[in-house]
Amino acid sequence: MYEVIQILTPQYPVRALCKSLKVSFSAYYAWKRAESHVLSAVKSTRAEQVKTVFEEHRRRYGAIRVSKELERQGISIGRHQTATLMKQQGLIAIQPKSFVPKTTQTDPDLVRSENLLLEVS
C-alpha cells in the first residue's frame, strides 16, 4: 500500500493519498524512513568492501583504483561514491615520494688523471 503512495506522489499530494487509502500520514513516513535504513545497510557493506580493498593494497590505492578493483571483483560502484566512502572513513592514500636524481659532487681538491688520448695524435 505504501508503494502505491510512493508511486503516485508526483501526481497527487501525499496527504490526499494517505486519506483515500486510509493510511496514517505518519505511518507512511515511518515506512519511508525504514526504507532508507535498508539503503544505509547497503552503504555500510560497501564501505567495508572499500576499506578492505584499500588495506589489501597497503593504503596505496586512491578512489579510482579502489573502484576499478571492486569492479574486477564484480561489485558495481562509481568512483565518486568510492571517494565519498573513503572520505567518510578517513582513508587517504599514501603518496609516493617524487623522484629526485642524485648527482655525484666532485671534490675539487682531487688530482685528475691526464687525458692520454690527446697524446696519441
Q: For every one of its 121 residues, what pLDDT tens digit does the chain have, with 9 covering 90 and above?
A: 788 888 888 998 989 988 888 888 888 888 888 766 666 778 889 999 999 999 999 999 999 999 999 999 999 999 999 999 999 999 999 988 889 888 887 788 888 888 888 887 6
Whole-model pTM: value is 0.54
Q: pLDDT value at position 11?
A: 92
Q: pLDDT value at position 102?
A: 86
Q: pLDDT value at position 118?
A: 85
Round to whole Å and give the CA distance between 93 and 63.
9
What are the grid coordinates assigned to 44, written together?
555500510
Domain range annotation of the chain: 2-94
